[in-house]
Chains A and B, each alone.
Chain A
Amino acid sequence: MPDLIISPGPHIKDKKDNAQIMREVLIALIPASAAAMFFFGRSALLLIFCGIVSAVFCEYLIIKVKKVPVTPADLLSATLTGLLLALMVSPVTAWWAVGIGSAVAIIIAKHAFGGLGHNIFNPALVGRAFMLASWPVMMTAWVRPFDAVTSATPLAENPLPVTYLQLLIGNHAGSIGETCILALLLGAAYLFWRRVIEWRIPVAYLCAVVVFSILLRLDSIFQLLAGGLVLGAFFMATDPVTSPVTKSGRWIFGIGAGIITVVIRISGGYPEGVCYAILIMNAATPLLDRYARGRIFGHGR
């Protein structure tokens, strides 16, 4: 008689694993990365390369130090962090600065908290916040696409220096991966199609920005298309590790991030508020998971 495996059910599993999820997010960022290289040329390529190499190197190093096996999910997750960080910086950022930012993201924001799945803050956003605090001049120097002539980011300008169409296409000054909204939306559509992200957080985030902008008599379409909001709403706020698992928590997370984004944009010290808005809501995530729980089946409303 053969020896049979006795294991608890379910005896079949979905094919999707952690590595596959990371892979799909990376695929979704291909259009935005391509647009970055199209508009900002070789400097974008160099920044993306440095961001990813530094992140993967640090990830590998730490896992080796921890003496645990290196899995594809770990390396893909680090690649994603490095890429996202690079997409959020100005094209004039020095390559070594992105490398250091990536190292901070992986070593401090991720592994100091326990590694994959345990970090409280989105590592790429921590990396960017660190770079903004360390090199404020470099991180807020902007250039126009193609000719690299110094220019301000549309969010800092008054009156409106760009058209909505320009904002959609991306031929204006800004962080390399944040300007081309069409490319980001293409990636977001892929994420929805592959069921990698869930709709509540991005919808709540974007709607909150629109509604709050209207209440404050701002140009809500401009608020929606400018800066890092689209990248943030679809690729940062939806980071599963640092966003709530409860459904009502996701609504609160998105709305909170939207309101904080607009508040920082109009009265903060920085022209853009997406990064800090999401980081602040990251901090609220454990609370939301604790207190914004829904009703359990069979329990009264």
Chain B
Amino acid sequence: MSSSANLTNSPDDHGRFGMFGGRYAPETLTFALEQLTDEYAKAKKDREFQQELDSLFKNYVGRPSPVYHAQRLSQHCGGGQIWLKREDLNHTGAHKINNTLGQALLTRRMGKKRVIAETGAGQHGVATSTACARFGFECVVYMGAEDVRRQAPNVNSMKLLGATVCPVHSGSKTLRDATNEAFRDWMASVESTHYIIGSVVGPHPFPMMVRDFQSVIGNEAKGQCLEQFGRLPDKIVACVGGGSNAAGMFYPFIEDEVELFGVEAGGKGDGPGEHAAPLTYGKPGVLHGSMSYVMQDSDGQTENVHSISAGLDYPGIGPEHSFWKETRRVDYVTRTDLQALEGFHALTQNEGILPALESSHALAYAMELAKKSSPEEIILVCLSGRGDKDAAEIARLAEQYQQKS
């Protein structure tokens, strides 16, 4: 299980990463999942497809995103050097666009004209709406009613981009319920609609395919590190909700001697419903089409989760992360809501960069690593998105905390 060959050659033909992954999806969707698997396999070998995607990355997204030395933040921590992979500078403000453009090209290849998506923080919703506007697809985005409230700026953007935003009022009114609703739509529309899943979750081939599209992050970073400091970083840190920015960042380094850290949402505490950290507190189970670590009760019912960041507020995790946890290739840790806020403020005040609350979890952990490191050590953080969308929510929370103290 721990041989490196398995780490790079996963998943197998059935979408298995060790015991994780697979395809626990209704029979109605099997046809579309097979079609997608075949089409993606063909596209992967098709030079024209790759060239078109590369060109979109360069001219539309603004890639490569820089690797930036956060010198003042590093000084503020004292110790190792913190470097940032600036996915926040991408068009639409996060790494999500890497995946939606790839899947939009596949949608066109499959001859489908309608796209659906789920979204938590709204970054994937905006990235999907953007790709759909760019390619002329009809777009419907499902979003938990609670997230519609706390991520209002993104909801407006989606509407302006021509998407229909459907608030989901069932269950916990967050990302997980939005995902259920998107699947239900797809059950009825599967012959004409493509479902652009936003993370490395869901039934095969989504975890593999989304990881591949996001691997542009790690592949670029590798070259940029060699160019800027002549070697690979010592440590890489990324936040994990579903786990797409982390998967894209880690995968190209998986066989290198680099320590990898995935940071889950520690929320308000370690009790059930207080966090969104299935790799830390959960057990293997089935959710949304794949086997992976998940927060469930003793009957297998999905438990409610909490995070200050809508993008991490999810009870499951991509199956490949479960595999990396089991094989001990990646260390998974948690940072709390408050620590994430501290990370947010530290970067904002020392570097003039507003990070997304999701990415702030990674920053908070990287800052702690830096404190314990020597000045030569290099810690690379995937700054997965920008925090403009969170500014209002952070102001609201700051008021709350002030009232409490």
Query: Does chain A bind chain B?
Result: no
Binding site for B on A (CB under 8 A): none
Binding site for A on B (CB under 8 A): none
